[in-house]
Amino acid sequence: MAKRRRRKPRWGRILWPLVIISSVSGWFFSSATALTSVRVEGAKPVDEARIRGILETGRYTPFPKLNGSNFESLVMDIPGVDTARLSRTPFGRGTMVVSYTRPVARVNNGKTFLMGENGTFFTDRGEENLPEVRVNPQLEFGASGLANQFDSPTVMKLVAELGDRFASNRYRVEVPVINQFLAVVDNCVIEFGDSTQLDEKFRLLDGLIRENSNLIASSKRVVLTQIRNPVNSPAVSSDAHPKNGPNSGANDSQNPPN
């Protein structure tokens, strides 16, 4: 019986794949795959330098070791930024797409800042045509930007509902104390009371305006705190003062109102 010849190992078939794998792995984990060019989209000019500074910290980090979510979180810490998404390739290129929270009101509690549609607060950067929300300065605001004693959902609802009815430059919302809300439209004060039954209160306001289209102009105050018993005080007009003849102005000046 003839002996079988032992085959020699074909080292080339074994070694070449190992060499290729080793070379690719070495390149993949080298600084050659680090971010060298990142396009920033959607960022406001005032934030671009800060965002690029954040991305610069990953400049020499190999692609597999670069944690994109960390950079996204750092960018989202910028006031007003809502989302940040970093996409990248292993060839040193990437794109950071930034979106901002839409501001819905300018809040003034001794300091001025913006309230976003998600209820967060951030630095006022001069956005125009926003309704004003005046808040008692004694109400506390947290350092994180979320208010400790500020009912953001109610204020946002008031701003939205009033915005559906009046131009933004005609009204403002006021929060004099915790859970008490009013609006000033032109020169008319509308008292909503607490945050309960706001939908019913706005329906009541709409009904009153349908009955009297001149309600806002002719009223000094409209009280909606009692749904079944709304009250409106007529605005004081100069025509309402009695005319006492040609010297009435002098009499008024000699006896000013207390």
The answer to whether residues 84 and 137 belong to one domain is no
Q: What is the pLDDT of residue 34?
A: 66
Does the residue 214 lie in any domain? yes
The answer to whether residues 38 and 96 belong to one domain is yes
Does the residue 196 lie in any domain? yes
The answer to whether residues 142 and 156 belong to one domain is yes
- Point out the domain boundary residue: 65, 100, 135: 100
Q: What is the pLDDT of residue 243?
A: 39
Does the residue 13 lie in any domain? no
- The C-alpha R_g of the chain, in whole angstroms, comes to 33
The answer to whether residues 116 and 54 belong to one domain is no
The answer to whether residues 173 and 123 belong to one domain is yes
The answer to whether residues 126 and 166 belong to one domain is yes
The answer to whether residues 147 and 222 belong to one domain is yes
Number of structural domains (the chain) is 2
39 beta partners: 95
The answer to whether residues 160 and 227 belong to one domain is yes
Q: What is the pLDDT of residue 97?
A: 95
Does the residue 3 lie in any domain? no
Q: What is the pLDDT of residue 197?
A: 93
Q: Convert the pLDDT of each residue in 104-160 to its tens digit.
A: 999 887 778 888 888 888 887 777 788 999 988 877 655 444 455 678 889 999 999
The answer to whether residues 167 and 232 belong to one domain is yes
Domain span at residue 150 reads 105-239
Distance set, CA 60 to CA 53, 69, 215 (Å): 13, 17, 67
Q: What is the pLDDT of residue 140?
A: 61
- The crossing angle, in degrees rounded to 10, of helices 198-211 and 152-165 is 20
Calpha distance 59→63 (Å, rounded): 10
Domain at 50, CATH number: 3.10.20.310
Q: What is the pLDDT of residue 119?
A: 80
Backbone angles phi and psi of 132, in degrees to 5: -100, 145
Non-local CB neighbours of 73 within 8 Å, separated by 6+ positions? 84
The answer to whether residues 94 and 112 belong to one domain is no
Q: Which amino acid, one-letter code, is at 1?
A: M
Domain at 127, CATH number: 3.40.50
pTM: 0.66
Does the residue 8 lie in any domain? no
Q: What is the pLDDT of residue 38?
A: 84
Mean pLDDT for back-to-back runs of 10 residues, the chain (258 residues): 57 54 49 73 91 84 74 90 87 87 87 84 79 83 52 91 92 91 94 94 94 92 86 56 39 36
10 Å Cβ neighbour count for 229? 8
